[in-house]
Amino acid sequence: MKLIFLGTSAGTVTVERNVSALLLDLIKERNTLWLFDCGEATQHQMLKAKLSLAKLEKIFITHLHGDHLFGLPGLLTTRSLMQNMSPLTLYGPKGIKQFIETVIDISSSWLTYKLDIVEIEHPMTLVDDQTFIVTCEALSHRVLCFGYRIVEKDKSPRLDIEKLNADGILFGPHYAKLKLGQIVQLDDGRVIDGRQYWGAVKKGRKLAILGDTVPCDASIILAKHVDVLVHEATQKHDLVQKANERGHSTTVQAAEIALKSQVKKLIITHISPRYCLENNQSIVDECRKIFVNTEIASDFSEFEIE
């Protein structure tokens, strides 16, 4: 599982940064990609990163501001020009359905695959399947904006084959029952409990991807004890009043949320166009004074989630 940042600029594109888009690479976990926000030219960024539209399974939009949304119609319709595209689910605040349907209608475009649109109006569970749970909370921005918490389910314990072999329990049909933790009687008369031969449960990973927001309780709910928190840091802290008036957070505020939420790592993004890449170090240094394990994302940055 890894995060691939396709756009890290706030509001508008710059020479160095595209607008908001973030991919969660789940190729190893479920052979799919999940996209969070889809600013202008996101499909171009995917091409440059050699990421396939065919692998997209879910798209999560945090809010309906253009820098998080305007790349979506082009990406969806381009996907229709490809052969045998799988169904796609789009999640976003109320209004996303009207936006997509209107653009497709007035541009005489079409979709050749099934697109399910789930409109969000309040905190809820969006995904609960064999591998992941995704929940959302409403943040504090100028328009309805959501953050997402993605939790990988714990993986079932595996049988400790070395321990079984050491105890003279050879491979056979009883392995299936032992794996389920059932009690089994062997041919030699021994009665064994499968749970005694379980290895350690592999704990699932957790991350939170937040949309635009000023510091709020919902951010802490989403980020509590995650392995990685992705949080906007639109301005340095000397511009805190300007940032907050426009519904955004500063470097210091993002770091404070990470500290309060007891996360393992903070990645900041959504950087104001006033800053260029050479300012990255001074931006991330402001965060690290409060939360040491902070990274700043640039376009095409990749971060493994361990």
Burial (CB < 10 A; 0-12, 13-18, 19+), residue 181, is middle
- Say how far apart CA 268 and CA 83 lie, in whole Å: 37
- Nearest Cα neighbor of 137 from 226, 270, 205, 241 is 226
Catalytic residues: 67
- Say how far apart CA 162 and CA 213 lie, in whole Å: 51
Tell me which H or E stretch contains 29: helix 27-30
Residue 228's beta-bridge partner residues?
207, 265
CA dist 196 → 156, 164, 168, 189, 218 (Å): 14, 10, 14, 17, 41
- Say how far apart CA 306 and CA 193 lie, in whole Å: 32
